Structure 1
Amino acid sequence: MKYSALLLRDMHPSGKTLLEENDCEVMIADGTELSDYQDQLKRCNAIFVRNEPVTSQMIDMAPNLKVIAKHGVGYDNIDVAYATKKGIQVVYAPLGNNNSVAEMAMMHILSCARRIRCSQQELINGNYDIRFVLNDTHEIKGKTLALIGCGRIAGLVAQKASAGFGMRVIGYDPFVKPGMTECGIEVIADRDQVFSEADFVSVHLPALPDTIHSIGIKEFRLMKKTAFLINTARGNVIREDDLVEALNTGEIAGAGLDVFEKEPVEKNNPLLAMDHVSVTPHCSGLTVEASENLSYTGAAGILEVLYHKPLTWPVNKVEYNG
């Protein structure tokens, strides 16, 4: 075959089939350590990655590399600056899992509102009468949902929350003009006001230098003591120690988390032991439908680069390196 793509983790067949149908050999990394697949790196033309890091060292070990494809939206696990310096195109799949992530955000909102984790565990432990004493559960109709970041996924959350559940949706995004957007988000210029008015704050920020650790104890103290924090974006945009403090001291009522500051999350992370925190293992974008979309879109991006086609979803801008 003319080209070779290295998948650092196996993926949905849709992308692999597309690559193979276009004369591109598909290699699955022989292990999870760099030493396991360094020989495969030496002969690959493309790297296809989920959340595994793609470092400058890896890029230097792949002399024939032309493209790095991200199986998803956030590409902070890829050294894009170094790839650009080396003339390597980076592509991603920003639409593939949007709906799945938005649905997970709504799931965590509902889980927090109805205290699903607590009631489920009590039921498993034999306490069927928990239903009579769990008196701090609520409907979400009429409640205010605040979106921090008003991009594509946030827009889908807004549509589901407002049209499906009758919530008021407000948001803050420095790149979106205040006022009503087409998704029904009332964009507010005052970030503090958004935190203070919310019954639920849902985070939809990428991990960038100005967003990492941008939400901490100051924001939690602005929130209502009855409010919940939802994060299906990136764990490191929140100061996790501050979140633990806010939950322990009652600054906020609870949280719904699909992402954590350090992943894989450690077993002794205090957030895992709190019955007012709904947790999932960074799986919001891993439905069957999303996995198929992401795999196919990433593979299509690889082929666009290898065969000199117009790029649908480029991350960087480089001169083609040969």
Structure 2
Amino acid sequence: MGYKVLTLKHMDEAGHKYLAEHGVEVITSQYDSEEGFLKEITENQVDAIYCRVDKITHAMMDASANLKVIAKQGAGLDNMDLAYAAEKGIQVVFSPAGNAQTVAEHATMLLLECAQRARYVDCEMRRGNFNVRYTLTGTHDLQGHVLGLIGCGRISQLFAHIAIHGFGMKVIGYDPFLKPEMLREPIELRPTAEEVWKEADYVSIHMQSNDATRYSVGYAQFSSMKPTASFINCARGDLIVEEDLIRALDEGKLANAALDVFEQEPLPMDHPFLTRENVVLTPHMGAATEDSVIRCTLSCCEDIVRVFNGEAPVCPAPKHN
């Protein structure tokens, strides 16, 4: 076939094997910047770009006359301009279903860590305070408590399934695009997001990052939460105003936060989140289990080959951002 794929980050071996079997050469980038990516795209005139969260710029799309397809390992497509890709005739593919269960399970882990104040307890135990268990307050069973979901799509519904059937929680949600009959789980939809923020013991956001949602969660939302409540974000870091979350936590407007995503990644080592014992942090790894990575990698690689063969991809990106 003679085609070349540049992967901007390490690609799982399953993808290398699949592409090799179909005569496709994989070039793993030696850089971590647009300048370096542009150099490799230009020098190799690649037929495809394989990415995770690295931004795909217009210049990168312009750098190879052979570029036919961009494959995104994951569900979020906010790291590229889909309209520009379509204008250039570049097919974008992604893997929206491959990591949904994984992210839902990661959100569940963060939920449990908030309920048990795991970050604080871990810090205390490492200081030698094994008896922290005797004086611990603000920890709760999940049964009977309320999980609130902002955005009730695929991942939210899987998360709700775990919360309802695994822990006996009540789940409420807000999603302007869904009606109750469209839900596979008994999520009680509220007419406004404000009601979810006020009523829930745990609020987890599951929205795409776009012009309408970016920085849409700020002090007004955080300050309307119960002072005993927790906030969870496994979606995108730029959905929230981080300074507002810090302020709300410091003022006791909510009790805990658990974050997998951040406005700037990697998270700067001087960021205020790092010093707070009521903030659980994970490094954008909600979809990073071996199982999820293999599923998403193969889905993308299969669609790359389909595009090279002139076939329609199974998971094309939506036509608009």
- TM-score category, normalised to shorter length: over 0.9
Secondary structure at 1:295 match in 2: helix
RMSD between superposed Cα atoms in Å: 1.5
1:180 and 1:94 mapped to 2: Cα distance? 18
> Which residue does the alignment assign to 1:205?
207
The TM-score with structure 1 as length reference comes to 0.95
Q: Letter of the aligned partner of 1:10 in structure 2?
A: H
Tell me, in whole angstroms, the C-alpha distance in 2 between the residues paired with 1:217 and 1:11.
39
Q: Is contact 2:150-2:205 (8 Å) kept?
A: yes
- Structure 2 distance, partners of 1:32, 1:271, is 25
- TM-score scaled to structure 2, two decimals? 0.96
Residues 216-251 of structure 1: per-residue CA shift (max 9 Å, x gap): 111112211111100000011111111111000011
- Report the 3-state secondary structure (helix = DSSP H, G, I; strand = E; otherwise coil) of the residue aligned with 1:301: helix
- The equivalent residue for 1:22 is 22
Change over 3 Å in CA distance of 1:180–1:292 after alignment to 2: closer
Equivalent residue of 1:309, what SS? coil
Does the aligned pair in 2 maintain the 1:47–1:67 contact within 8 Å?
Answer: yes
Give, in whole Å, the separation in 1 of the partners of 2:304 and 2:127: 50
Aligned to 1:58: 60
- Name the amino acid aligned to 2:148: A
Q: Which residue pairs with 1:100 in the alignment?
A: 102
* Structure 2 counterpart of 1:259: 261
Contact 2:38 2:59 in 1 (8 A): no
1:40 corresponds in structure 2 to 40
Q: Secondary structure at the match of 2:254?
A: coil
Alpha-carbon separation, structure 2, partners of 1:228 and 1:317: 36
Q: How many Å separate the matches in 1 of 2:196 and 2:209? A: 20
The count of corresponding residues between Structure 1 and Structure 2 is 318
What's the offset of the Cα at 1:316?
A: 4.4
CA contact (8 A) 1:180 1:187 kept: no
Instruction: Give the superposition deviation at 1:30.
Output: 2.3
Determine whether 1:279 maps to 2:294: no
User: What amino acid sits opposite 2:14 in the alignment?
Assistant: S
Could you list the runs of 4 or more consecutive aligned residues of structure 1 that deviate by over 6 angstroms after TM superposition?
none
Structure 1 Cα separation of the partners of residues 285 and 37 of structure 2: 25
Matches within 5 A, 1:207-222: 207-222=209-224
In structure 2, the partner of 1:247 is 249
Deviation at residue 36 of structure 1 after TM alignment: 3.3
Unaligned segments of structure 1, at least 5 residues? none
Q: Any unmatched runs of 5+ in structure 2?
A: none
Letter in 2 for 1:91: V
Percent identity, aligned pairs only? 42
Q: Equivalents in 1 of 2:275, 2:267: separation in Å?
A: 12
The answer to whether the 8 Å contact 1:179/1:186 transfers is no
3-state SS, counterpart of residue 201 of structure 1:
strand
Is 1:196 aligned to 2:194, yes or no? no
3-state secondary structure, aligned to 1:268 = coil
What amino acid is aligned across from residue 209 of structure 2 in structure 1? A
The AA in structure 1 aligned to 2:222 is F
